[in-house]
Amino acid sequence: MSDIWYQFKKNKIALFGLFMTTAFIIAAIVAPLLAPYDPYKMSGAESLAGPSMAHWLGTDQFGRDIWSRIIYGTRISLKVGIISVGISLVVGTLIGVVAAYYGKWVDSVLSRLTDVMFSFPDILLALVIMAILGPSLTNLMIAIGIVYTPIFARIARGAVLTIKNALFIEAAKSMGISNVKIMWKHILPNSLAPLIVQVTLSLAFAILAEAALSFLGLGASPDTPSWGIMLSEGKNWMEQAWWIAVFPGIAITLAVFSFNVMGDGLRDALDPKLKNESS
């Protein structure tokens, strides 16, 4: 572990990503402390007010405080990110591990299935699933989860294929350990590294997808403080009040960027080949 941390902290941008990610998580947890206003509270007198001391990032057309809504928006974004990526991680890893471990026709069936899902553009597939399930935040998370499942399945399959012929797997078989236990205790812990990296990268995608789908009106109800919804609402007022759309946009960019660079840094730190070059 200390070795991985040593490699990771050499990468300053990745360190920034980790810092920002931590900041977002803290913001989501202590949102009521950081937000000066109720994100739902409307105030006709203050509508479309520009950034000021009272409203740091201005207000929207209903007089709601943008800063407060962005802070509360981290909750939605992280929730969507974590739950949807959690769905794809669990389901995808299960598919990938089973496909690679049993091989033969099991592998063929599962791999072709993931290939089919891969062949659809991400957002389009999410749109189709949302159209079937109906728009709501829960369905949004399910849709994004399904869309990113094949990535995890493929990564897990690849990782397991390299590990399943290891001698210690054969040793476990010779001791009469059951297949399920071999997969859980021997194969999974040894193929976790690429999956962890993919989790951080997928979090960024999921946040982006949430924003995109919310922008299209397929996510949570329109009054919810979600970055995507704020962006969508703000676009109607771009000429009078640029701050309504720009600040949520910056929040999305920053979150996605942070997760991405953190994921990149993690991938480099976990790659043993890079380790040898630098030491």
Partner 1 sequence: MATEELVRIDNLKKHFKISNGIFRKNTVVKAVDGLNFSVYKGETLGIVGESGCGKSTTGRLLMKLLEATEGKMYFEGEDVSTWDKQKLKARRRDFQMIFQDPYASLNPRMIVEDIIEEPLKTTDMSKEERKARVKQLLDDVGIPQDYRTRYPHEFSGGQRQRIGIARALALKPKFIVADEPVAALDVSIQAQIINLLVDLQEEYDFTYLFIAHDLSVVQYISDRVGVMYLGKMVELSESDDLYENPLHPYTQALLSSVPVPDIHHVKDRIPLEGEIPSPDNPPSGCPFHPRCPIAKQHCKEEVPSFREITEGHYVACHEVK
Sites of contact with partner 1 (CB under 8 A): 166-168, 170-177, 185-186, 189-190
- Length of the chain in residues, anyone? 279
Tokens of 245: 């759309």
Q: How far is the CB of 181 from partner 1 (least distance, A)?
A: 8
Residue of 79, 118, 70 lying closest to 207 (CA atoms): 79
What's the rounded Cα separation, in Å, for the pair 123 and 213? 8
Is the Cα dihedral 65, 70, 71, 75 positive or negative?
Answer: positive
> Cβ closer to partner 1: 52 or 178?
178
The contacts of residue 153 (CB under 8 Å, 6+ apart) are 91, 92, 93, 95, 96, 99, 110, 114
Q: What is residue 184's three-state secondary structure?
A: helix
Q: Which residue, 2 or 174, has its beta carbon nearer to partner 1?
A: 174
Element (H, E) at 215: helix 192-215
The rounded distance, in Å, linking the Cα atoms of 255 and 237 is 24
Smallest distance, partner 1 to C-beta of residue 185, A: 8
Q: Which is nearer to partner 1, 18 or 100 (CB)?
A: 100
Least separation in angstroms between residue 173's CB and partner 1 is 6
Is residue 239 within a helix (H) or strand (E), and if so which, with residue range? none
Beta carbon of residue 174, minimum distance to partner 1 (angstroms, whole number): 5
Q: Which is nearer to partner 1, 170 or 223 (CB)?
A: 170
Q: What angle do CA 228, 242, 130 make, to 5 degrees?
A: 15
When the beta carbons of 174 and 276 are compared against partner 1, the nearer one is: 174
- In the bound state with partner 1, the residue whose beta carbon lies nearer, of 5 and 242, is 5
| Least distance CB 108 / partner 1 (angstroms) | 15
Smallest separation (angstroms) from partner 1 to the CB of 220: 40
